[in-house]
Structure 1
């Protein structure tokens, strides 16, 4: 349709214009509007959306492109616009009527609202005082409720009920978990009262603290009496502290005075119990006189002092270990809790700090355990001290006294590790050990004094005298006993020196006195025999090293004197002594060597006789020399002494030989045919032959 419209328009309307001839210039001026219109139409863009919409609208109306239609189109359009505007005006009239009705309704509503405002204002004026009063009452209610909650919480925290106070302080009530929880609550209340004391109302805090302190004191007194009753009902033979008692003691530690009183009561009770048990173990009957058939009395072995003392000490050690194990759970595993409790008690009882100024501020569980166990066995220690003291004084055997002292030393060291150095039992054992050692020294000195009163001579074989052999046997028993003692390696030898001074030195001094009365070499042989016997006895024990060195030095000294004796024997028996004495005054110069022949001992007859005497001596010289030392009990030492003397003799012979050879060489230099016979021809033995014969 659009295409048809354009084609029709082009053919009919516009063609006339286009095809019309160009008017003259005067007519162009009058046709400018038409030209403008045509130009406007021709210049319009048919791609414009408005034009396209207008053309689409024409297509929908079914308008034919004709001159009549084109003339009526504007009128039709205007008519349609007018009709549309009329319809709109009619519709807006209806809307206006509705708006009027709405306006009337709004006015009516406004009038109602105003009426309601007046009523509300009047009502508000009438109810305002009531509302204010109600609001005030609500605020007061909230405050009262808050105070009630605060009072309820305060009472629940700071106030204990009568039933709780009765459970806490009444001795008729048991000491159980409920008691300890109430006690913990009371302590917390007492601590929290310090906050109340910091407020303005201090009176309330003071009153509550006073009441709480009273309840706490009653609770601790109840706990104190309960622990004492429990201590009485413990198993007497093997006391085991239950968990309830351990807990009670940890809590009671917050009252150091009551805690210490409990320990004192326990120690006193245990002291009596252990003393009665020790008496039963000794006699087989209890302190009340009842016989206990299950116990073998220790007194049955009283005839054997060492076993008797050992059994008493062993029983004491067993009882002490058992007592310590029973109490170790309390003071070692619970030591920190007890220390905290005692410190808290000291802080809460400042008046006790004055008495504790000289004591350690920290609780030492191990020390407290040792002290308590020591107090428990104090009664046993007294009986032990009395019984063992009687045994020491009633027996006069030297070895027995020392064995008892060593046994006491063993248990003293053992108890020092078990109870510490500050112990009544340890002090008793130390005193008994000193008493036994003192008895040993007295008996030993009496024995030495008895020996000194007697006259002693050396045996025919120059061996150790009987008293020395007996003393060495006695010393062996002492050393074997001492070897088993608990002595430190550093002080072991030093501690044994006083024993040697009492049990060894007097007998060696006696032997030395006998040796001084003998002639040489018997005196040296006797002394060496005594020293060798002593060395053989002392050598197996490592705590005699210094004394062994001293003895070895004395043996070497006496051996040196025997070497000199054997050396003198070799020189005198071999006729070498006169030759050596004659050559001693001569020098090694030519004049000295020439003067040898002028000496009497080097004359042919005398030198020949000396050579003959040497030849007769040499075959049996070594055996004869060993015969001189036949009483020396060490053949090895006798051989060494003889060999050393023989070496010295050979050295002297070499000197004589060298002088004789030198003198003969001078003679050969001045040989005039009438020279005397060479000295070596008269004295032909050589030093090599001498060494072979004496080796």
Structure 2
């Protein structure tokens, strides 16, 4: 219906606007701008249909189902005004009810105000009467809170800074055991001592001094108790079991906070262990304890005293076994708990600054490994004394050269072993070093005595010019020494250098004595004898890698004597083949024509002497090599004899070829001059090739 209304208005508007009205007409644009109605129409037409108010108005019109005519529009206006009036009347009535309710509320509020005023008067009267009581109660509450605070503070102080009688008994009484409760109380006492330092920094210095004085006395008594307890435990401690009880380990860690007591405890333990190990070593040696009781479970080491090497080896082996066992037993203490002990000792040094003066020369940090080595070394000090005495007597009482060196090498082996086990600064290591030096001195003294005895004797070389008996014995002895030295722990870099003094004592004197014997022989027996001796020495030295330099020197000596034998064999070839006179005659001549031509005039190259020389050469050559080898039949190396002979034969062949070449050159010169004489080669027909074949 509303759409119909607007449609009608639009149609009427269009009809009014059809045609061209004059400017003065009421419907002209100028009239519309000044006419209120036109303004209203313009405003209505310019309104947007999307305006919510218009939509609501249109929706209400649709609900009334009215038509768009003049009657309806008039009636609609009246109806709207009527409804507005009725609505205003309803509002006024409702406000009347609200006014009545507000009046009743005002009466109620007034009544409440009167009650409140009454209550204020009663409260003021009560407050005036109770104010003194409340003030007294407040003071009492404050006093109570203050007393309670002091009580809690005193309770806390007693709980923290005061040790109870039961705890004091557990801490200081020797009748109480050293158990977990003791260590717990000790820890608490140390904490109290530390906290007392805080009190000293406050206004309660007197209280802090009193508590610290008392707790220091308690701590000293506790550490004395712990120290005596550890000493008692050490007396019954069985180190054969490689595990030390955890209680002792814990006690030692705590005792380390008193370095003086800790060191004293270790001294006591070392002394006790020294006596125990010394007695055990005595039992192992004799099969009888120090009390005279025979131990059937032990085979006495002294039963093998007739064998010095085994006797010394058994004593050293027992000592090594005991040392290793002792170290393993104590290793748990100083290695696994080393850090704790170091911390304890450092804490003790900090708490006892007066002890630092005595420890100025010592290391400021605790070395668990070093402490372990020192303690084990002190434990075996008694055993080291017995070893030094027994082995020293054994070294002095035996005068066998090889045995002295074997004992020295055995001592060297164990010295190196113990140096790895206990370190370089050890009483046991010092004892072994002294014994090793003593054994080496005995070895050198025996060797010098033996050599001095050889020098006073007259030695005759064997008929076969082989090594003499004294040299064979010396080389046999040297072989035993080198086999012993080969098993030592000497490093590869110093093995040869370390063995040089031994060669000087046990090898060089025999070689020198052999040279003296060789000086009494004629050539070539002297060289053959010397080579045979040197070959035997070379055979002895060759298997060992620490005789390289001496082996090289020996080989050079052999080669030097071999060169002398080559000269001898070479002279044999020249003299027995009749080639020597020819060589001597040709020696002054050069290769000039005049010198070559003068060869025929030499007496040695006349037909008869030259023929005789050729005949002598022919007679010598068939057996020349065998005869030359016969000269070296006593040389014990057939290979060397053959090499010497071959070298001499080669030089002889070279000389013969020189003679041959000059004879041929001289014959060629005479042929050029048409000389009718016989050529020299006719009297001396042998060729160099034939000589080489016969001597090969």
The aligned counterpart of 2:405 is 402
- Is 1:429 equivalent to 2:432 in the alignment? yes
Map 1:34-53; keep pairs closer than 5 Å.
Answer: none
- Is 1:268 equivalent to 2:261 in the alignment? no
Distance 1:132 1:678, change over 3 A: farther
For 2:466 and 2:403, the matched residues in 1 are separated by 28
Distance 1:79 1:269, change over 3 A: closer
Give CA deviations for 1:460-515 in whole Å, capped at 9, x if unaligned: 11111111111111111111111111111111111111111111111111100010
The aligned counterpart of 1:691 is 692
Moved more, 239-248 or 139-148: 139-148
- Is 1:290 equivalent to 2:271 in the alignment? no
How far 1:243 moved relative to its partner? 1.1
Aligned to 1:415, which of 418, 429, 437? 418
How far 1:161 moved relative to its partner? 1.4
The answer on whether the counterparts of 1:397 and 1:443 sit within 8 Å (CA) in structure 2 is yes
Give CA deviations for 1:511-554 in whole Å, capped at 9, x if unaligned: 00010111100000000000001111111111111110000000
How far 1:578 moved relative to its partner? 1.0
- Is 1:676 equivalent to 2:677 in the alignment? yes
Distance 1:132 1:622, change over 3 A: same
- Is 1:580 equivalent to 2:589 in the alignment? no
TM-score normalised by L of structure 2: 0.87
The aligned counterpart of 1:660 is 663
How far 1:99 moved relative to its partner? 5.1
The aligned counterpart of 1:628 is 631
SS of the residue corresponding to residue 461 of structure 2 reads coil
How far 1:145 moved relative to its partner? 3.2
For 1:217 and 1:169, the matched residues in 2 are separated by 9
Map 1:489-500; keep pairs closer than 5 Å.
Answer: 489-500=492-503
For 1:448 and 1:533, the matched residues in 2 are separated by 19
Give CA deviations for 1:438-470 in whole Å, capped at 9, x if unaligned: 111111111111111111111111111111111
The answer on whether the counterparts of 1:236 and 1:273 sit within 8 Å (CA) in structure 2 is no
The aligned counterpart of 2:148 is 145
Aligned to 1:373, which of 351, 354, 376? 376
The aligned counterpart of 1:331 is 334
- Is 1:204 equivalent to 2:230 in the alignment? no
Distance 1:684 1:99, change over 3 A: closer
- Is 1:459 equivalent to 2:462 in the alignment? yes
SS of the residue corresponding to residue 556 of structure 1 reads helix
Give CA deviations for 1:88-114 in whole Å, capped at 9, x if unaligned: 988877776665554444333322322
The answer on whether the counterparts of 1:238 and 1:322 sit within 8 Å (CA) in structure 2 is no
For 1:378 and 1:521, the matched residues in 2 are separated by 63
SS of the residue corresponding to residue 636 of structure 2 reads coil
- Is 1:302 equivalent to 2:305 in the alignment? yes
The aligned counterpart of 1:20 is none
For 1:368 and 1:598, the matched residues in 2 are separated by 101
The answer on whether the counterparts of 2:285 and 2:301 sit within 8 Å (CA) in structure 1 is yes
Distance 1:412 1:95, change over 3 A: closer
SS of the residue corresponding to residue 681 of structure 1 reads helix
Distance 1:50 1:405, change over 3 A: closer
Distance 1:84 1:249, change over 3 A: closer
For 2:180 and 2:126, the matched residues in 1 are separated by 66
For 2:304 and 2:211, the matched residues in 1 are separated by 68
- Is 1:534 equivalent to 2:537 in the alignment? yes
SS of the residue corresponding to residue 416 of structure 1 reads helix
How far 1:349 moved relative to its partner? 1.1
Give CA deviations for 1:16-66 in whole Å, capped at 9, x if unaligned: xxxxxxxxxxxxxxxxxxxx99xx9xx999x9978997998999xxxxx99
The aligned counterpart of 1:186 is 189
Distance 1:439 1:83, change over 3 A: closer
The answer on whether the counterparts of 2:242 and 2:328 sit within 8 Å (CA) in structure 1 is no
- Is 1:506 equivalent to 2:540 in the alignment? no
Gaps of 5+ in 2: 3-35, 46-53
Give CA deviations for 1:589-613 in whole Å, capped at 9, x if unaligned: 1111111111111111111111111
How far 1:133 moved relative to its partner? 4.3
- Is 1:259 equivalent to 2:262 in the alignment? yes
The answer on whether the counterparts of 1:234 and 1:240 sit within 8 Å (CA) in structure 2 is no
Map 1:334-373; keep pairs closer than 5 Å.
Answer: 334-373=337-376
TM-score normalised by L of structure 1: 0.87
Give CA deviations for 1:148-181 in whole Å, capped at 9, x if unaligned: 3333333222222121121111111111111112
The answer on whether the counterparts of 1:238 and 1:326 sit within 8 Å (CA) in structure 2 is yes
For 1:164 and 1:154, the matched residues in 2 are separated by 16
SS of the residue corresponding to residue 523 of structure 1 reads helix
For 1:409 and 1:49, the matched residues in 2 are separated by 125
Aligned to 1:279, which of 266, 275, 282? 282
Distance 1:89 1:558, change over 3 A: closer
Distance 1:452 1:117, change over 3 A: same
Moved more, 208-217 or 293-302: 208-217
The answer on whether the counterparts of 2:578 and 2:616 sit within 8 Å (CA) in structure 1 is yes
For 2:78 and 2:595, the matched residues in 1 are separated by 190
For 2:691 and 2:221, the matched residues in 1 are separated by 110
Give CA deviations for 1:284-305 in whole Å, capped at 9, x if unaligned: 1110111111111111111111
The aligned counterpart of 1:12 is none
- Is 1:547 equivalent to 2:528 in the alignment? no
The aligned counterpart of 1:219 is 222
Distance 1:435 1:121, change over 3 A: same
- Is 1:447 equivalent to 2:450 in the alignment? yes
Distance 1:52 1:602, change over 3 A: closer
For 1:512 and 1:667, the matched residues in 2 are separated by 56
Map 1:570-609; keep pairs closer than 5 Å.
Answer: 570-609=573-612
The aligned counterpart of 1:118 is 121
Map 1:82-121; keep pairs closer than 5 Å.
Answer: 100=103, 102-121=105-124
Distance 1:53 1:501, change over 3 A: closer
How far 1:272 moved relative to its partner? 0.5
The answer on whether the counterparts of 2:240 and 2:325 sit within 8 Å (CA) in structure 1 is no
Give CA deviations for 1:399-456 in whole Å, capped at 9, x if unaligned: 1111111111111111111111111111111111111111111111111111111111
Computed over aligned residues only, the root mean square deviation of the Cα atoms, in angstroms, reads 3.1
The answer on whether the counterparts of 1:619 and 1:693 sit within 8 Å (CA) in structure 2 is yes
Aligned to 1:177, which of 151, 176, 180? 180
Gaps of 5+ in 1: 3-35, 60-64
The aligned counterpart of 2:480 is 477
Distance 1:471 1:51, change over 3 A: closer
Give CA deviations for 1:219-263 in whole Å, capped at 9, x if unaligned: 111111111000011126456421111111111111111111111
How far 1:622 moved relative to its partner? 0.3
Moved more, 302-311 or 200-209: 200-209
The aligned counterpart of 2:642 is 639
The count of corresponding residues between Structure 1 and Structure 2 is 645
